[in-house]
Chain A
């Protein structure tokens, strides 16, 4: 069902827990994964791991806040592969400060870290997708877009991502390109203790915390041909946490 075989998939933020799960998922289903990150060591490890399993991946070192760097990266991939079919924008920069405590730099970093890479990558990648009349863009947003104390910059950036997704979906709707958001809920990460994960999970309707693979499966659906008539949408992968909120429909 999840057909991504022989697709070229560029994944931004490929080395965090969620990016890694997405890379493994798409590669295991036959896509060539172009893993992008600013962490050279982690990139090498990820690509090695994917290749060990007999799947295809390449590492691309990039500064995700530099539009020049991103343009160079996309040009390289296009020269090498001739196409980019899937673009997954997985960026995450949390600040954790309240509005009154956040500095100008915190605010700018929140937008630059969470939002700018998505804009830069889409600007470079979309024309090729429009030409080939096929493309899948999946932006990783967060349930925190609905608002949470201490998350003002993060919420603002993740909300903006939804508006961005909808606008881009409308701009590309007639070109065989879909643009969707996966909004992650509470997801266990490597830094989290078991007790923390259990406590967070027990507060959710499904009584368990999410795993990076839960997000990766949803990304896989939107990246595949199975979802060709869905565009501009946000799907929460949150164990039902969003079901109380007016902002989740």
Chain B
């Protein structure tokens, strides 16, 4: 049981939360597919994993393009013989007040966060249904509940939650579960780049007064990816230090 020998494709896994999740899954015996849009980042991550003797391959693909996604999934199954766990992690944000956002901001945010999850889920779907087993874990965000200046991102992540619930209802009978992990404030390189003033403001809204770390997200993903947890589907698991409770 667990995730041992399962094949896991994690999108956007050449850095940050995706990379750590991939690493933890590999340490727990899963065979990993690293994906990113940048060839050098994929190669570097694969090399790091290989040096530790972990089972890994890399796939460069733009998840907003159906052809590239389908090819990545086909090649994954070609190499490892299966695809058991899909973690739709790749994401990005264009933030700003509504009046300042461009159409391009909206399109790219929706495409990467939502369309990418849709295309990857669709591409993985046939194989998972065929083997009567699969785990789809979508990385949403606490921000789907709403955040000033986050119109495209909140909308996209809300879409991810809706998509997840539909996948759960459609695929449940085929042994495939679909769940969301919704991170809050997590210590990533992006956090370190923020001005101190912004950090202080964000932490003041945090019930725990602390950041989470990428391991917290990896733990939640692995819990939902576990073979044994087939009775949990269509859910949003918040990993946000209680921020989703806060009404201010």
Contacts and interface: CB of A to CB of B under 8 A. Distances in A.
B60 interface: no
Interface size class of A (residues with CB under 8 A): 35 or more
A114 to B, nearest CB: 22
B223 A221 contact: yes
Interface stretch (A26-34, A85-93, A116-124, A239-247): A239-247
B234 A242 contact: yes
Interface in A190-227: 204-208, 210-211, 214, 217-218, 221, 226-227
A242 B168 CA distance: 10
Interface stretch (B48-56, B188-196, B205-213): B205-213
Interface string A169-191: 11001100000000001000000
A249 B208 CA distance: 21
B177 A249 contact: no
A98 interface: no
Contact of A232 (B165, B220, B245): B245
B232 A228 contact: no
A236 interface: yes
Interface stretch (B81-89, B92-100, B235-243): B235-243
Contacts of A237: 231-232
A100 interface: no
A229 B217 CA distance: 9
Contact of B233 (A169, A174, A243): A243
Contacts of A238: 231
Interface in B154-169: 161, 165, 168-169
Contacts of B165: 243
B207 A218 contact: no
Contacts, number: 116
B28 interface: yes
B68 to A, nearest CB: 30
Contacts of A111: none
B244 A239 contact: no
Given A169-B245, A205-B169, A243-B169, A174 B208 contact: yes
Interface residues of B, number: 40
A236 B234 CA distance: 9
Of B172, B223, B232, most buried by chain A (CB within 10 Å of CB) is: B232
Contacts of A166: 245
A218 B232 contact: yes
A115 interface: no
A231 interface: yes
A211 B173 CA distance: 17
B204 interface: no
A22 interface: no
Of B226, B231, B236, B246, most buried by chain A (CB within 10 Å of CB) is: B231
Given A236-B235, A243-B165, A231 B172 contact: no
A235 B168 contact: no
B107 interface: no
24 contacts: A1-B222, A170-B242, A170-B246, A173-B242, A174-B208, A205-B168, A205-B173, A205-B233, A206-B231, A206-B233, A208-B231, A210-B231, A217-B226, A221-B223, A229-B240, A230-B220, A230-B240, A231-B208, A232-B207, A235-B237, A236-B234, A239-B233, A242-B235, A248-B235
